[in-house]
């Protein structure tokens, strides 16, 4: 009887807080370049596994928090987060049927879309970053996905 | 994989029928925020609140680094301290000598100014601020410092460190402020070559060790080793602070402008402590009206007032 499992709400708060702190943790330069978008991965995970608790509003607020932390134009990450969370919601039943590898590929596409939105907004607001290295977190994020999904899955409680 | 259900939900995708609508509404809210925020000033209160809320977390992230620094400074060996003490004493003596000379020059300067009937430069006030070890964005050159509106910090305030101009304040919260460094691609500072007074603009490149001077004509009198001082035009930075030293001058006959690079004087990538400067721009003095941009304008606007490659 493991048909029904729930994602506890404390997990939502704890994991998003840790992800937010990780996203501004001082790292050596080369690590900072490949730093995955931890907070977005957490948002994707909740949109996938607990679409009600980690809804679009959660994605929006998480994005806004990241905007405030990074000091960029307010709403930039919020918009990108909402778009990604919407896609995950839309396909969450299908995504759950994927193998971890397929999920990672899907996450790769989502992260790419996310970076593209940020890239585009950066350009519109007059701070274009054309460095190719800004796309590195897409790869590392997708590689991190199986680890994160496996780790967070352990906290799903049985109902 | 097992079917997941949440408490209270009858089916796996609750409220699925309004999903698209909610996404569009939230997306529009985000876009609205961006538009309002990008037009500056309108969201100052919200920004300050968010900065205040983020501050404890930034301190939390900074604390391990601060703890490590505290540890290493507490367990410094006696030899190291003695050596440092001797070095600082020597440095102090040198500085004292220079200061003596400087005081005489300052007196003379004041006398000359009085003879010219000019307004004496307003006294500068500075305050020390610590740089928090928080990574904002690897592609932007910005840092958070631990002083904010509670200490009187305001937007567009110049920031210097012990060796030169560091940057300016872009956002303030009650206890913290965000500083854009000289090397950020969105930053530009009006400078003057100390050797001959040639005025131009130094633009950030995204590399903390390199500034670019893109508006100098090919025949401009500038050479490697020239010191660049802040010119005080633009009304944001006080005049006369070291900004950078020219490292490379390339004159390509096929281009109308020279390619000039400079190395910032301030330790942009490793400063732990910076100084926030208060000064009143000497608007009555020589600076042309067009260049005296009101405080609060972005660097891009401030620099736009000065023709590129202006020479004396």
**Nearest by Cα to B19 from A57, A33, A107, A120:** A57
Q: In this predicted structure, what is the pLDDT of residue B282?
A: 56
* Contact call for A74 and B43, based on CB within 8 A: yes
CB nearest to A52's CB, from B14, B38, B51: B14
The question of ipTM being above 0.85 is answered as: no
CA distance to partner chain B, nearest, from residue A22 (Å) = 9
Helices (H) and strands (E) in chain A, counts: 8, 2
**Alpha-carbon distance B224 to B261, whole Å?**
9
Give a yes or no: residue B300 inside a domain.
yes
Phi, psi of B285 (to 5 degrees): -80, -175
Q: In this predicted structure, what is the pLDDT of residue B311?
A: 38
Give a yes or no: residue B72 inside a domain.
no
Give a yes or no: residue B129 inside a domain.
yes
| B278 touches B199 (CB < 8 A) | no
Give a yes or no: residue B39 inside a domain.
no
What is the mean pLDDT of each successive set of 10 residues along chain A, which is 159 residues long?
A: 58 89 84 90 90 85 89 88 92 88 93 94 82 89 92 74
What is the mean pLDDT of each successive set of 10 residues along chain B, which is 312 residues long?
A: 47 63 90 83 79 87 85 81 92 90 86 69 75 82 89 90 90 89 91 92 90 91 92 86 92 91 90 85 47 41 39 36
Q: How many beta-carbon pairs below 8 A join chains A and B?
A: 157
**Alpha-carbon distance B97 to A1, whole Å?**
84
| B207 touches B135 (CB < 8 A) | no
Which CATH number is B132's domain given? 2.40.10.340
Q: In this predicted structure, what is the pLDDT of residue B303?
A: 40
Using a CB-CB cut-off of 8 Å, the residues of chain B touching A27 are 135
Using a CB-CB cut-off of 8 Å, the residues of chain A touching B10 are none
Q: How many CA atoms lie within 13 A of A62 on its CB side?
A: 33
| A23 touches A66 (CB < 8 A) | yes
* Contact call for A25 and B170, based on CB within 8 A: no
Domain count, chain B: 1
* Contact call for A90 and B19, based on CB within 8 A: yes
End-to-end CA distance of chain B: 74
DSSP per residue, A96-145: HHS-HHHHHHHHHHHHHHHHHHHHHHHHHTT-----GGGGHHHHHHHHHH
Domain boundaries, chain A: 35-158
A106-145 residues touching B, CB cutoff 8 A: 121, 125-129, 131, 133-134
CA distance to partner chain A, nearest, from residue B9 (Å) = 8
CA distances from B303 to A28, B231, B266, B299 (A): 33, 12, 21, 6
**Nearest by Cα to B190 from B268, B307, B40:** B307
Question: Tokens representing B172?
Answer: 């303030």
CB nearest to A21's CB, from B29, B50, B60: B60
* Contact call for A89 and B53, based on CB within 8 A: no
Helix (H) or strand (E) holding A68: helix A56-70
Which domain covers residue B149, as residue numbers?
125-312
Give a yes or no: residue B97 inside a domain.
no
Using a CB-CB cut-off of 8 Å, the residues of chain A touching B137 are 70, 72
Q: In this predicted structure, what is the pLDDT of residue A5?
A: 56
**Alpha-carbon distance B199 to B193, whole Å?**
6
> Is the Cβ of A28 closer than 8 Å to some Cβ of chain B?
no
Give a yes or no: residue B151 inside a domain.
yes
> Is the Cβ of A9 closer than 8 Å to some Cβ of chain B?
no
């Amino acid at each position: 009887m493991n048909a029904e499992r729930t994602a506890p709400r404390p997990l939502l708060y704890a994991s998003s807080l840790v992800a937010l702190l990780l996203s501004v943790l001082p790292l050596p330069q080369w690590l900072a370049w490949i730093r995955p978008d931890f907070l977005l991965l957490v948002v994707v995970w909740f949109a996938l596994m607990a679409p009600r608790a980690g809804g679009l509003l959660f994605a929006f607020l998480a994005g806004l928090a990241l905007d405030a932390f990074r000091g960029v134009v307010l709403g930039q990450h919020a918009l990108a987060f909402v778009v990604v969370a919407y896609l995950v919601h839309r396909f969450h039943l299908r995504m759950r049927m994927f193998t971890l590898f397929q999920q990672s590929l899907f996450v790769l596409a989502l992260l790419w879309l996310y970076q593209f939105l940020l890239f585009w907004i950066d350009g519109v607001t007059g701070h274009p970053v054309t460095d190719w290295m800004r796309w590195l977190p897409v790869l590392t994020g997708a590689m991190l996905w199986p680890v994160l999904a496996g780790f967070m899955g352990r906290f799903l409680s049985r109902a | 994989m097992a079917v997941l259900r949440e408490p209270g939900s009858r089916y796996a995708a609750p409220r699925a029928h309004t999903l698209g609508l909610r996404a569009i509404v939230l997306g529009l809210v985000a876009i609205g925020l961006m538009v309002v925020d990008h037009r500056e000033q309108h969201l100052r209160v919200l920004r300050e609140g968010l900065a205040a809320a983020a501050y404890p977390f930034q301190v939390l992230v900074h604390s391990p680094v601060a703890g490590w620094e505290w540890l290493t400074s507490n367990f410094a060996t006696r030899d190291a301290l003695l050596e440092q003490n001797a070095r600082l004493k020597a440095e102090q003596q040198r500085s004292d000598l220079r200061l003596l000379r400087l005081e005489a020059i300052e007196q003379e300067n004041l006398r000359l100014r009085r003879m010219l009937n000019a307004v004496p430069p307003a006294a500068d006030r500075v305050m020390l601020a610590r740089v928090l070890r928080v990574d904002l964005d690897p592609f932007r050159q910005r840092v958070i410092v631990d002083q904010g509106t509670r200490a009187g910090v305001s937007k567009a305030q110049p920031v210097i460190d012990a060796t030169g101009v560091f940057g300016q304040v872009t956002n303030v919260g009650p206890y913290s402020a965000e500083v854009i460094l000289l090397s950020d691609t969105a930053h530009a500072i009006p400078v003057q070559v100390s050797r001959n007074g040639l005025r131009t603009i130094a633009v950030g490149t995204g590399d903390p060790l390199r500034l670019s001077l893109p508006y100098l004509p090919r025949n401009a009198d500038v050479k490697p080793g020239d010191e660049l001082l802040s010119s005080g035009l633009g009304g944001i930075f006080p005049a006369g602070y070291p900004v950078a030293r020219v490292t490379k001058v390339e004159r390509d006959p096929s281009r109308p402008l020279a390619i000039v690079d400079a190395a910032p004087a301030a330790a942009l990538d490793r400063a732990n402590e910076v100084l926030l400067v208060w000064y009143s721009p000497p608007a009555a003095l020589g600076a042309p009206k067009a260049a005296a941009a009101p405080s609060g304008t972005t660097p891009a606007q401030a620099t736009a007032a000065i023709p590129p490659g202006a020479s004396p």
